[in-house]
Structure 1
Amino acid sequence: MLLGRSIRKWWQALPPDKQELLKDTMKRNRWSIVLGICSLSSLIAIYFWTHLDKSPITGRNRLLMFSKRQFLQLAEFEYQSVLENYKDKFLPVTDPMYETTQFVFNQLIEKNKDIPGVSETKWSINVVEDPEINAFVMPNGQVFVLTGLFKAVADSDQLACILGHEMAHCLLAHGAEHASIIQLLDFVSLVFLTLIWAVFPRDSLAVLGQWIQSKLIQYMFDRPYSRKLEIEADEVGLRLAAKACTDVRASSVYWQQLELMKIVSGTFQIPEWFSTHPSNDHRVEHLDKLIPKAIKLREDCGCPSLSSVDPRLVFRLSVQEMLKLSKKKEESFSIDSGIKQLPQYHEPRTAIIERLPTVVSVQALQSTQNTHK
């Protein structure tokens, strides 16, 4: 900002004849200037190219500006900050929620020792008394599970899929990769920031240009890249859970449960492109596409056969039952009160539940219902 503003002030202070002289000089040497810019850009590109690394798990090329030792040192500072934030909130190892988390995570580690990084990482479980629905794993292997998560998961299979997802973030070095991308974006931002403050005629316009630039980078590059990493962690996490003999079908049910909780509670749902994470609907759709391969991997690992009752179907039928009961209550309320319909501004709960994403085909539901009959 200072550099760009100084260039603008210097240019505005020049007499018109000197401005014209400099313009003519630049026109005569334009090819030399272009060559210099291209040379500098090539050096920068080579620098970033030499920091590309191939993931041993996915085989995808990624940008890593930090060595593993450097990033672990940075992660240690963050770890200390998290410990301070959750001070006096950690559950003892004898707590049932801690024991459940430890057992599920041990299964993931034991069955995935052939995955690069699993055996080398010193994993440690931390269960925190906090109502937020969240879990995360730090780059140093510290696993944090907030107790609010246990109110959102239906069983240990869902918990295993969530922990597998978080474990995948650590194994794939997503923290280091995202920090490297942020560093690259910051470098590009500095170049454009200098140009904005140098070219825009007034400070107020430069501030506006700077704000627009930051939002464009945030919503066009940073958040889409973050969502890409989340999707990759879903894929790898599902593989980890499958090898641990988890019922991988429960993975998509968890996100449907979260979606139902949001809809019923009336929580405002921001569009996906505003978020750092994919929408629940997107995750359900993506996971359902991956589940057949995960089931095949599970079979190849010699796991026991899955139950013939698909939890996705159970969830869908449960929602249908909720819908029927809700309709009956509304009809009863309408008859008792003599009201033909609810006010226009009030959305019936049945309409809310009907917006839940369908994950089972109508034919499958009909055949199952016929079987029950």
Structure 2
Amino acid sequence: RQLVREWLRRRRWHLATGAGVALVIVALLLLTHLDESPVTGRTRLLVFSREKYMELAALTSEAHLEEFAELLLPATDPLHQMVEQAVQLLAQRNKDIPEVSEVPWSVHVVESPQINAFVLPNGKVFMFTGMLGAVADLDQLMIVLGHEMAHAILDHSAEQASLSHVVDLLSLIVVTAIWALCPGDSLALVGGWAKDKLTELMFNHPYSRKLEAEADQVGLHLAAKACADVRAGPVFWQQLEIVDKLTGNPTVPEWLSTHPSHRNRSGQMDRLIPQALELRETCSCPALSPVDPRAVFSKTVSELLAKAKEQGVGGLEGTREPQPVSASVGLPVSQTALASPSQVARFNKDRVPAVTSPLPTAAGERSQHVLQNINQQGS
């Protein structure tokens, strides 16, 4: 200990100078790469230029097209046409946003049971058929697409890469300083492992959850301007929560995840609904059905839980009953069912097609419900 103190005393000016130079470099990096996020106006750090990131997006999209080459549905497939027209509608109704109007949007539907969808910054939309089976109606599909498009127009991937770049630089300086004070291979290994874990838990994961929440908000606004029933948004995340319960998917604590939990996303989106409804009203959209899909879903889940309890069915323990919504539940459910391409095209006349269709009463029936709707409405 005495030797370490002596070593620090002799090199205190070297250490102070090194720390000062490092702080100046980081400060200059931050000050010269601050950017204003489109739509939200939030100040954020962007180390990479949009041009460079577009080049990377082009390479990434080519890699994905090669990866999914054997699984892509043809452009004539009803599922592809439905997603294509939904994306074009979102782009058309949000053309006042430069990041939307300046991008050539194109759709690729991947035949895979994976519940996933993503949009690259160059406008390449990848939708998995598993996601089409997970959404209960066209409104939910529009909200999912709006969320993914929001990630793209807000450059969230570039923003997260920039944060990782700066955090890696800072952590490298800290680890190097520790190694200089206490040289040793074992300490270097432990320090590297601790650095990675702390970076994930303290920076990457919280920031990723923040970006997901922002994409939920902006995506809901994109869908509202496209005249979707934004009240279907919270229902979608409640559905996924029940699917996880039924399929036994392990629940990861939110602080260990890059995404908010389904329950928290549903609650947060519920709080955003009033603002989204106000925005929808300003876009010359038709009036929504007086029957709130959240109320319908709440009643359906309550009935399912009661039946499961009577029959002693397991798997739903811990499932939260959705909060009741002030709306008439006893009336027939009028909502926008997952539609055929011709019905989606009617959106272009600023009208949401009014199709009467019951909400699926069990999470496992959603996929069949979607395919049956497409077949029945397309015939």
CA contact (8 A) 2:291 2:329 kept: no
Query: CA, structure 1 residues 107+359, in 2 after alignment: closer, same or farther (shift >3 Å)?
Result: farther
**1:168-317 alignment runs, 5 A limit:** 168-317=150-299
Structure 2 partner of 1:154: 136
Instruction: Describe the SS at the equivalent of 1:144.
Output: strand
Select the structure of larger CA radius of gyration: 1
- Which residue identity does 1:98 align to in structure 2? H
Structure 2 partner of 1:333: none
Cα offset for 1:21?
A: 7.7
- How many aligned residue pairs are there? 332
Instruction: Describe the SS at the equivalent of 1:117.
Output: helix
Task: Note if 1:110 corresponds to 2:92.
Answer: yes
Cα offset for 1:188?
A: 1.2
Cα offset for 1:265?
A: 1.6
Structure 1 partner of 2:11: 26
Cα offset for 1:87?
A: 1.8
- Which residue identity does 1:256 align to in structure 2? Q
CA contact (8 A) 1:66 1:176 kept: yes
Could you give the per-residue CA deviations for residues 71-96 of structure 1, whole angstroms, max 9, x where no partner exists?
11112221122112112110011111
Query: CA, structure 1 residues 146+20, in 2 after alignment: closer, same or farther (shift >3 Å)?
Result: closer
Instruction: Describe the SS at the equivalent of 2:259.
Output: coil
Cα offset for 1:179?
A: 1.0
Correspondence for 1:143 among 122, 125, 137: 125
Which piece of structure 1 moves more, 104-113 or 33-42?
Answer: 33-42
Where has structure 1 moved over 6 Å in runs of 4 or more?
A: none
Structure 1 partner of 2:67: 85
Cα offset for 1:329?
A: 3.1
Could you give the per-residue CA deviations for residues 245-283 of structure 1, whole angstroms, max 9, x where no partner exists?
000000111000000000122211000111111100110
Instruction: Describe the SS at the equivalent of 2:99.
Output: coil
Cα offset for 1:207?
A: 1.2
- Which residue identity does 2:95 align to in structure 1? K
Correspondence for 1:74 among 56, 67, 73: 56
Query: CA, structure 1 residues 23+211, in 2 after alignment: closer, same or farther (shift >3 Å)?
Result: closer
CA contact (8 A) 1:165 1:234 kept: yes
Distance (whole Å) between structure 2 residues aligned to residue 236 and residue 219 of structure 1 = 25
CA contact (8 A) 1:57 1:116 kept: no
Instruction: Describe the SS at the equivalent of 1:230.
Output: helix
Cα offset for 1:23?
A: 5.1
Distance (whole Å) between structure 2 residues aligned to residue 284 and residue 297 of structure 1 = 20
Task: Give the gaps of 5 or more residues in structure 1.
Answer: 1-15, 331-347
Report sequence identity in percent: 46
Query: CA, structure 1 residues 266+25, in 2 after alignment: closer, same or farther (shift >3 Å)?
Result: closer
Given the two structures, how large is their TM-score scaled by the length of structure 1?
0.83
Given the two structures, how large is their TM-score scaled by the length of structure 2?
0.82
Structure 1 partner of 2:374: none
Structure 2 partner of 1:51: 33
CA contact (8 A) 1:196 1:210 kept: no
Give RMSD over aligned pairs. Answer: 2.5
Distance (whole Å) between structure 2 residues aligned to residue 138 and residue 281 of structure 1 = 27
Task: Give the gaps of 5 or more residues in structure 2.
Answer: 333-379
